[in-house]
Structure 1
Amino acid sequence: MDQIIQLDSIDTYNRLYGLPTLHPLVAVVDLTKATRMLNHVKVNYGIYALFLKNGVNCTLKYGRRNYDYQEGTIVSFAPGQTVEVEMLDNEISPEVYGLLFHPDLIHGTSLGDKIGQYTFLDYAQNEALHLSEKERDIIIDCLHKIEYELDYPVDKHSRSLLNAHIELVLDYCLRFYDRQFCTRAKVNSDILTRFEQLLNDYFNGGESKNGLPSVKFFADKICLSPGYFGDLIKKETGRTAQEYIQRKVIEQSKHRLLGSGQSVSEVAYSLGFQYPQHFIRLFKRETGVTPGEYRKQS
Structure 2
Amino acid sequence: MEDMLIFDHVCQYNEHLGQETLHPLVNVIDMSKSKPLLHHRQRFGFYTIFLKDVKCGDMHYGRNFYDYQEGTLVFLAPGQVAGITNNGETFQPKGYALVFHPDLLRGTPLGRTINDYTFFSYESNEALHLSEQERRTILECLYNIEAELQHSIDKHSKNLIVSNIELFLNYCMRFYDRQFITRSNVNKDILTKFEHVLNNYFQSDKPQDIGLPSVQYCAEQLHLSSNYFGDLIKKETGKSPQEHIQLKLIDTAKEKIFDPSKSISEVAYELGFKYPQHFTRLFKKVTGYSPNEYRQAN
Q: TM-score, normalised by structure 1?
A: 0.90
Q: Give the Cα–Cα distance (whole angstroms) in 2 for the partners of residues 187 and 80 of structure 1.
A: 30
Secondary structure at 2:93 match in 1: coil
Check the 8 A contact 2:50/2:97 in 1, yes or no.
yes
User: Relative to 1, partners in 2 of residues 1:114 and 1:29: Cα closer, same or farther, differing over 3 Å?
Assistant: same
Secondary structure at 1:223 match in 2: coil
Unaligned residue ranges in structure 2 (runs of 5+): 56-65
Q: Answer yes or no: is 1:12 the counterpart of 2:12.
A: yes
Q: Give the Cα–Cα distance (whole angstroms) in 2 for the partners of residues 224 and 175 of structure 1.
A: 21
Q: Give the Cα–Cα distance (whole angstroms) in 1 for the partners of residues 44 and 242 of structure 2.
A: 28
Q: How far has the Cα of 1:150 moved from its partner?
A: 0.5
Q: How far has the Cα of 1:79 moved from its partner?
A: 1.7
CA-to-aligned-CA distance 1:211-255 (integer Å, 9 cap, x gap):
111111111111111111111100111111111111111111111
Check the 8 A contact 2:75/2:121 in 1, yes or no.
yes
Equivalences for residues 222-241 of structure 1 within 5 A? 222-241=222-241
Match of 1:204 in 2: 203
Q: How far has the Cα of 1:87 moved from its partner?
A: 8.1
Check the 8 A contact 2:273/2:279 in 1, yes or no.
yes
Q: How far has the Cα of 1:86 moved from its partner?
A: 5.7
Q: How far has the Cα of 1:36 moved from its partner?
A: 4.6
Q: Answer yes or no: is 1:250 the counterpart of 2:233.
A: no
Q: Give the Cα–Cα distance (whole angstroms) in 2 for the partners of residues 109 and 81 of structure 1.
A: 23
Q: Give the Cα–Cα distance (whole angstroms) in 1 for the partners of residues 18 and 139 of structure 2.
A: 22
User: Relative to 1, partners in 2 of residues 1:68 and 1:127: Cα closer, same or farther, differing over 3 Å?
Assistant: farther
Q: How far has the Cα of 1:12 moved from its partner?
A: 1.9
Q: How far has the Cα of 1:5 moved from its partner?
A: 2.6
Q: How far has the Cα of 1:89 moved from its partner?
A: 10
Check the 8 A contact 1:45/1:81 in 2, yes or no.
yes
CA RMSD after TM alignment? 2.3
Check the 8 A contact 2:4/2:42 in 1, yes or no.
yes
Match of 2:82 in 1: 83
The aligned amino acid for 2:45 is: G
Q: Give the Cα–Cα distance (whole angstroms) in 1 for the partners of residues 212 and 192 of structure 2.
A: 20
Equivalences for residues 255-294 of structure 1 within 5 A? 255-294=255-294
Check the 8 A contact 1:125/1:224 in 2, yes or no.
no
Q: TM-score, normalised by structure 2?
A: 0.90
Check the 8 A contact 2:269/2:275 in 1, yes or no.
yes
User: Relative to 1, partners in 2 of residues 1:80 and 1:291: Cα closer, same or farther, differing over 3 Å?
Assistant: farther
Q: How far has the Cα of 1:68 moved from its partner?
A: 11
Q: What's the % identity of the aligned pairs?
A: 52
Check the 8 A contact 2:36/2:91 in 1, yes or no.
no
Aligned length: 288
User: Relative to 1, partners in 2 of residues 1:5 and 1:106: Cα closer, same or farther, differing over 3 Å?
Assistant: same
Q: Give the Cα–Cα distance (whole angstroms) in 1 for the partners of residues 67 and 17 of structure 2.
A: 24
Equivalences for residues 1-298 of structure 1 within 5 A? 2-38=2-38, 40-55=39-54, 71-85=70-84, 90=89, 92-209=91-208, 210-298=210-298
- Which segment drifts farther, 210-219 or 4-13? 4-13
Check the 8 A contact 1:74/1:130 in 2, yes or no.
yes
Q: Give the Cα–Cα distance (whole angstroms) in 1 for the partners of residues 22 and 183 of structure 2.
A: 39
Q: Give the Cα–Cα distance (whole angstroms) in 2 for the partners of residues 50 and 275 of structure 1.
A: 44
